Amino acid sequence: MRALIKKECTEVLVPFGIAFVVITLAWLAAMRFDQALLPPATDRLIFVAVSSGLAGVVLGYLQFSTERWRGKFGYLCHRGTGLEGAFLAKTVAGLVATALVGFGPPLTYAIFAGLTSPNASIIQWSMLGAYAVAATGGASLYGLGALAASLRRRSIAGILLIPVGVMGVTTVVMFSAGAATRRKAH
């Protein structure tokens, strides 16, 4: 079982690790201390929820579809752990990657600000709990992506996933435009 979890983590954490690094760099570059670590941070909470949800639905879909695309689904059924073990390994790796993409950037930003900011003494560490709660939406959408991947009709999967993708891209564009506008205003 450990080997299967290690395999899934390797396959998943490499591309989603890159997404984590990109989003974290965006947080470090675009956020101001008062926007991210002092209440109310409603816009940031929405961004965390959407980025976690988008990562969850894409990851859930890709993780469960790639085995069928590669023709290895039958192989997984006959492994020592069986189909249940493969499902468990994929789910563990997928939820860890979803949490990394959703909750990792605000956590990294908070640690960075706590170590380097002159305002470190007034950080509201309770905001990390709010960010963690906002990132839990990714778990539900991870399940939606896994469900869409298991459907035989691709058109139904598209109907489920296209609106989620459009919302995700729209939110990222709005966040980027808002950050650029705030930078120019100050």
Residue 186 lies in a domain: no
Per-residue pLDDT, averaged over 169-175, amounts to 64
Residue 29 lies in a domain: yes
pLDDT tens for residues 81-114? 666 777 788 888 888 888 888 898 999 988 988 8
Residue 127 lies in a domain: yes
Residue 140 lies in a domain: yes
Residue 158 lies in a domain: yes
Percentage of the chain beyond pLDDT 90 is 2
| 39 DSSP 8-state letter | S
Domain ranges, residue 84: 2-175
In the chain, how many domains are there? 1
Residue 185 lies in a domain: no
pLDDT at 163 over 80: no
CA-to-CA separations, 26 to 16, 18, 29, 175, in angstroms, rounded: 15, 12, 5, 10
pLDDT tens for residues 28-56? 888 888 877 877 777 788 888 888 888 88
HEC per residue, the chain: CHHHHHHHHHHHHHHHHHHHHHHHHHHHHHCCHHHHCCCCCHHHHHHHHHHHHHHHHHHHHHHHHHHHHHCCHHHHHCCCCHHHHHHHHHHHHHHHHHHHHHHHHHHHHHHHHHHHCCCHHHCCCHHHHHHHHHHCHHHHHHHHHHHHHHCCCHHHHHHHHHHHHHHHHHHHHHHHHHHHHHHHHC
Note the pTM of the prediction, 2 decimals. Answer: 0.71
Residue 52 lies in a domain: yes
Residue 180 lies in a domain: no
pLDDT tens for residues 12-24? 877 788 888 888 8
